[in-house]
Structure 1
Amino acid sequence: MKVFGIDIIKGSVRSRTRRPVYALCRVEDGEVQGVEEVTGFRLQRLLATEQPDILAVDSLQEIAADQHELHRFLQALPPSTKLVQVTGGERKESLGKVAARYNISFNRFDPYAEARTTARVAALGAGVEVIAFENTTDIVVSRHRSPGRGGWSQNRYVRKIHGAVLQKAREIEARLRNAGIDYDKKETKAFGGFSRVAFRVTAPRDMVPVHSSRGADVQVRVTGRELDRIRFEPLSRRPRYLIVGLDPGTTTGIAAVDLDGNLVLLTSSRQMTMSDIIEELYHAGKPLIVASDVQQMPYSVEKIRRAFNAIPYTPRQSLSVEAKYDLTARFSYTNDHERDSLSAALDAYRSLQSKFRNIAKRVRPGVDLDEVRARVLRGQPLDTVLADLEGGAVVPKPAAATPEETLPERPVDDERVMALDGMVKRLRSYVQELQEDLRERDREGERLREDLQRARSATERKVRRDAELATKDATIESLREQLRSERRRSRRLKKRLERMRAVAKIEVSEDYTPLKVLDSLTRDGVRDLQEGIGVSTGDILYVSRAHGWGRGVVKDLAGAGVRALVVGGEPPDPHLVRIAREADLPLLPADAVRPDIRGRTGAAKTGAVEEALGAWEKEQKVFLREQEAERVEYLFKEYRSEREKEVRRGG
């Protein structure tokens, strides 16, 4: 198998001035043939000449700027050449990760090394094939010349071209029939033959026995029908090995990582049956290890493990919540079930990391590490696995030739005893290594327990300190709120005191009488005035308008000992005047008093106030006399009515 691997050295497919220059590596039957520098045009010529089985790239962006250019590039490839993206399809990964699966290392800053690595991993089966065409091919046979206006021999010239198109179409049709390929044909008749013949062939382009060509009179164009979306198919059909973690229960959590610890699958569901779980894992890959986060593997997990004939793994002791958080810190999950299953898979992977590193040291580059690790975990010796994968056989080292005369012949029992002694020595050495490893693990465990205890102590101190700080912050905030409330109250009292001082200054004067201003003739207005500067016996109040008054507020003012109420604006309501007279609360018109109002206080000349009060008193005396007369007349009418009733009863 011949593989071409390319990587850009300089330039870009998006640039019009600096076209890309590639490093091209050829790999044939697993052997690197060489690396050279080629332009894009030179690469197309080499592909058409040598027709490799695979053209490998680590990114499609290196050969095409968009999907249209990618289709055009694939049309130009030989039908037998596959375009392979070694870093994956929809879910890409780095070239370094792909190469690590085959124990290959390279300088990622060297385009020649990247081209060599790309070709080698593609030859080993890594990557996905880029498929942009349906399993249908269009073949169009048409004129390669324009008939033009012509002259005396125009008809003969046109008949010659159209006859050549007809002849070429018949040749292609005969090839398709001989190959047993189904097709549909559409012909465009013209003078002397056909001007165009289109074949719709039900077969992929590499199976069609016709190629694009150009002649003097006829051209043939073979193109595949483009897919609406680029499709990726794995180059190797062998499923990847997985380490699976399961968390059974009402909600089942499923997690799977590959043998490099990369997350492959993480999901959970309440409706999953046993067959659903097996199908989900089957689509993800081939479970090599099935793990649980508890020491005793649940029966349902054991059944799934047996379905895949996988290796069981359980921790020495059930994983704690803290250990699960540490294991899954770099991953995102949606619930506790996904976390538990993922922690089980990662714990199994962590327990095998040292073994995987030792295997990688002993495996030469170019061998599938996943296959080696899987076979070793299943119990096969590493030497046997490597010999099998590399196509060789395990050959024991020959013993040193010893002359018969120098080695006396030993009984079979002595040889067996010596072999057993050697085995005992090796086992003792192995036991010592294990004991030393156990002591090292004990020391590491003790150190981790001390670190954990220190971390817990520090965390507890931090929690206590945070709780104390939160309590103190709450106390400080409460005291601040009380302080703000007291400051607001102090400002209100200061304003009230200033107003009371202003009123007191006016009271000292004999020429003016102080007035206290009501916002409205309502109980709310009286309450605001009481809280502001206070209302005491003998005060004269002023209200700009008497709207919204009530019988209760008039009685409250009269009960508080208010001397008079000055009303501004329109004349007060007669009902208000009557209620005020009944409550003996003088209502003085502002026109008569002529007050001077400034904010919540005001003043009026004492003489004007006394005159207005005198006028109110005179009218009040008249009102009281009228009230008395009405009362006497009412009593007289009542008496006469009673006497008439008695006379009627006596008669």
Structure 2
Amino acid sequence: MAGSLVMGIDISGGEFAYVVASDNGVVESGATDEWGLYRLIRKYKIRKLAIDNIRELLEAAPHLIKKMAGLPFDISIIQVTRLSDGSEKSMEHLAKEYLGINVVKLSPLQTAEATARLSIMGVGTPIKLYEDETRIIIKAKISTTPGGQSRNRYERNVSLRIKSLAEMVKESLNKGGMDYDLFYRESEGIRSAVFVVYAEKSAVRRLVKPYKGLDVEIRIESALLDSFRFEGASVPSHDRKLIVGVDPGIVAGVAIMDLRGNILRLYSGRSLSRSALLRMVYRYGSPVIIATDVSKPSDYVRKLAAMVNSMLFAPENDLSIDEKTTIAMNLSRQQGVKVATTHQRDALAAAYKAFMNVKPKLDKVEEEVRERAVGLSVDHVKELVIKGMPISQAINEAIKKEQASNNVKVIVIKDKQNDEEEDNSTYIIALEREVERLRRENNELKNELERTIIRSPSGDSTLRTRISYLEQDLMKEINKNMELRNKLKQLEEYLAGIVSGDVGIAVKAEDEEALINLSKRGYYPITTFHSLSMMNIHKLLDLGANTVIIDEETTPGGLRAFFKLGINPIPLKDVIVWDAGDVKLISKNSVMNSLNNLRDLETEVDPAYVEDIIREYRRNRL
């Protein structure tokens, strides 16, 4: 019967009203304090604890949450007021609907009984307070020992004892096929050993038993999450791809960097499990590179990279302390981040070296995507390239994925042979899709921030830091959103200007034929003085291709020389209003002003002098 018992509780004024119940009715009820409640849970081997508000339990009984982690059995916590569809109802509403109790306000004892009965009926949502992993802690029972040689001898014996027990635990876990990480704390010998086993406590206890000796003990307990979450609830994720530097050990260092080299988070913590590390990373995106600062990566780092199917980066030689310190100091100055520990320094150096290793490829990806697509996820293309795919193929794969997703973006593919035929309205569609995506990300970050503010049962002192980073992420996304909105509004105005005739379209002309064709179609051809000097000027004039946009630094002499030949060379920098790669939007009013300036430059020039200038351009550019 004990295995089927449920405990319902309600907290009022620091006191816990409780009801222990089964399918057959109430077994025991009353009121007690936090420690009395823990004794009752152990006495009845409660496997299900029902409550109306998890936040009240976290605030009123953090020590109880920690103590329950060490119970010899697993216990689940149910919030009955949150239904399976995610909606929430009051206790009075649920009591009336399911139990036929119609009162304005339930008393604490009535609430405790109602939560127990509702839980037995299957009402409510399970709450996750503990990791899907178990910690085995081997440590000395006392910290004070006799002084002198006796103390040294005692500490050596304890160190050997911890080492021996750790080897026995390793053997048991290996026989059971368990995945685990082992951390030793060493200071003049082994002070403690911590196993993080990636399995539930009940499975671990079948292989390893708690132990209390005269000098050393083995504790087995569930690992606390840094904050609760409802099981089955989705956790917002970010599209961003990441490089994660890791310095493993009893105190681990973590550096999270995006694929542009921006530092998003530095962290160091004791006995950091792989799953806890990944949960932290997933708040910022998904890792594509796991990096270490040593040439032979540890098992921890290898397993971490394998878990997320990421590239594993290790330098050819171990990074020296001087090199890591220099990297950390430079990045700290450049990006305004504080590197608080040597573990953070080592992780940051590893991430930076990995970034610099792939940076040439990433820069090439940025360039190719700008030329070929608008609205395409650059990070997704970079991820594929990092994993070994050619850039062109990676872009095609990313386009297919975007078009097949539920939130389809319109991808504008730029054909280099027909850039002049680009329909500028597709830019608006792509930008609108991007604005909508950023709006969704803003909402997700707000929700994540609200969840994070809830106080952690473990009293995690890093909550403020995490909130600060989330706020920074939110502001970045809001700024991106506003920037895209402004660009969208500006582009709409320019497109209206094209219709009204105030704005013209300029397109890069690769050769003489392209220049003539563009002029015939009403576009402004973009070229350089060097390219223009290689063309048949008389042919251009005969076919009406006399106004060109010059995309380079110009001098009055050069402008005047071509103007005297009948060509109207207009400096691009004087007329451009929108840059879309090989296609530019230009102000026709500015073109007229430039023509007037050319006329002001007009003076009598010896034709031979003009020919000399053209020959000079040819010599300088060949």
Instruction: Report TM bin, short chain.
Output: 0.3 to 0.5
Point out the structure with max Rg over C-alpha. Answer: 1
Task: Pick 1 or 2: higher relative contact order, CA cutoff 8 A, min separation 6.
Answer: 2
